[in-house]
Amino acid sequence: MARLNESITPYLLLLPSFFVLFGLMIVPMIWNVYIALHDVSITNIAKSWKFAGLSNFRYLVNDEWFWNSLLVSAKFVGACVAGQFLIGFSLAYLLSKERWSNLFRPVFILPWFMSIIVTGYSWEMLFHTRLGFINNYLLHFRIPWLEDPDIAIWSVAIANVWWGTAFTMLFMETSLTSINPEILDAAEVDGATGLKKLRYVIIPLIKPFIAVNLILITMWTVNLFDLILVMTGGGPLYSTRTTSLYMYQQAFNFGEISLGSAVGIVLLALNLVLAYAYLRASR
């Protein structure tokens, strides 16, 4: 394929995309830092901003609910990533051997196609302590899925796993198909079958894919808060208020925009670390 070396044209073609990217991603990141160093609230956006130095960050350090949010995020991300990956990988593996995989696959992808609102509210309808499907139909006793501070975060995680597993499943399926069948045959000849083959042959071969997958879903889960907003709004007693939700609520429920930006920077730092890990792992 002959490639071209015309000087300006490629840049012109790329201009719109990068203009969008620059304006909607890079510029805001810089703004974020600027806002976090000033005193901006929803009432004075249009007016002048006082410089505030590090006082927003100092507030965060002293706020017990900020530290709580980090803990909640850790729990939530841990549960979601573990759930999505283990289940997603297992599904991919099972589907690769199943004759009727084409029947199952669309059903498995269906949740991922649901909007967050549908996911959130449908699971709320299942989880509602008094009116919900699970407590009324499946169980004889009532579990306060969304109302107990110790349980709520795991319930939301279940909803997220329901929604997001499809991505890992597809990703892992692709990675499995990338394995040269001859290697698998050779392994079987050597006596490795079933689980042994899985553990000693397949997994090592797709390690880079696994790493990329894990980093991607971690990144997306760390930043996710709309599902939580819809299902619990952060409660009960902030037990489902992840750092990302904390950021959103500070800015838009309490009007403390700079405080939200400060949290945003913490999140951003986390994201950049994960992005870097991703780029290294996908080499």
Partner 1 sequence: MGVNVRMVRLAVLIIWAVFCITPIFWIFSTAFKPNEEATKFPPTLIPKKPTLENFEYILSDPILFRSLLNSVFVSISAAILCIIISSLAGYAFSRYEFRGKKFLMGLMLGSFLIPPVVNIIPLYVEFFKLFGTTDSLLELVIVYQLLILPLNVFLFKNYFDTVPAELEESALVDGCSRLQAFYKITLPLSKPAIAAASIFAFRFAWDEFIFALTFISSPDNNVFAAAVYNFVGLYQVQYGYLAAAMVILCIPPVIILTLFQKHIITGLKMGGLKG
Partner 2 sequence: MAEIKKWVAFLLLGVVVAAVMGGCAQKSPTTPTPTTPPSEEPQKTKVTLTAYFAAPKDRWEALVKAAEEKFEEEHPNIDLEIKYMVYPYGEMHKKLVTMAAANAEADIVSIDQIWLGEFVEAGYIKDISNEAKAWGIEDKLYAPYVKGCMYDGNYYAVWAWTDARLMWYRKDILEKANVEPGDLKTWEGFLKAVPKIKDVAEAEGMGGVAFPGAPWLVDWWYPYLFENGGKILVKTNGGYKAGFDNEAGIKAANYLLEMKKAGVEFPTVWKWGEEFAGGRYVVWFGGTWVLGKFSEEEQANISEKIGVMMFPAPSGKESRTLSGGWLLAIPSTSKHPDIAWEFIKCMLDPDVLTPVLAEYSYLPTQKVIAEDSAYASQLEEEIPFWPVFREALTKGAARPNMPEYPKVAEILYEELSKVVYEKTTPEDAVHTAAEKVNALWQG
Binding site for partner 2 (CB under 8 A): 42-46, 65, 124, 128-131, 146-147, 149, 232-233, 235-238, 252-253, 255
Burial class (CB in 10 A: 0-12, 13-18, 19+), 111: middle
Q: Rounded CA gap, 279 and 260, in Å?
A: 28
Contacting residue, 54, 71, 74, 114, with partner 1 by CB under 8 A: 114
Contacting residue, 146, 157, 247, 249, with partner 1 by CB under 8 A: 247
Binding window for partner 1 (CB under 8 A); candidates: 53-61, 179-187, 196-204, 261-269: 261-269
CB of 57 to partner 1, least distance (A): 15
Q: Rounded CA gap, 212 and 215, in Å?
A: 5
Measured from the CB atom, the residue of 24 and 61 that comes closer to partner 1 is 24
Q: Give the total of residues touching partner 1 (CB under 8 A).
A: 89
CB of 203 to partner 2, least distance (A): 38
Contacting residue, 57, 76, 246, 248, with partner 1 by CB under 8 A: 248
Q: Are residues 152 and 235 in contact, defined by beta-carbon separation less than 8 angstroms?
A: yes
What does the longest C-alpha to C-alpha distance in the chain come to? 74
Binding window for partner 1 (CB under 8 A); candidates: 55-63, 72-80, 105-113, 197-205: 105-113
Q: Are residues 157 and 83 in contact, defined by beta-carbon separation less than 8 angstroms?
A: yes
Q: Are residues 50 and 35 in contact, defined by beta-carbon separation less than 8 angstroms?
A: no
Q: Is 126 in the site for partner 1 (CB under 8 A)?
A: yes
Residues from 186 through 225 that contact partner 1 (CB under 8 A): 216, 219-220, 223-225
- DSSP sequence for 17-50: HHHHHIIIIIHHHHHHHHHHTEE--TTSTTS--E
The amino acid at residue 202 is I
Measured from the CB atom, the residue of 150 and 253 that comes closer to partner 1 is 253
Pair of tokens at residue 267: 């999140």
Partner from partner 1, partner 2, none contacting 193, C-beta within 5 to 8 A by type: none
Partner from partner 2, partner 1, none contacting 255, C-beta within 5 to 8 A by type: partner 2
Binding window for partner 1 (CB under 8 A); candidates: 1-9, 52-60, 61-69, 146-154: 1-9
Phi, psi dihedrals of residue 38, rounded to the nearest 5°:
-120, 180
Question: Cα dist. 81→9, 46, 172, 176 in Å?
Answer: 42, 40, 14, 20
**The dihedral formed by the CA atoms of 198, 204, 208 and 214, expressed in degrees to the nearest 10:** 50
CB of 147 to partner 2, least distance (A): 5
CB of 273 to partner 1, least distance (A): 11
Partner from partner 2, partner 1, none contacting 236, C-beta within 5 to 8 A by type: partner 2
Considering only CA atoms, give the Rg of the chain. 23
Q: Rounded CA gap, 143 and 87, in Å?
A: 24
Partner from partner 1, partner 2, none contacting 68, C-beta within 5 to 8 A by type: none
Q: Rounded CA gap, 125 and 60, in Å?
A: 35
CB of 138 to partner 2, least distance (A): 15
Contacting residue, 56, 240, 242, 244, with partner 1 by CB under 8 A: 244
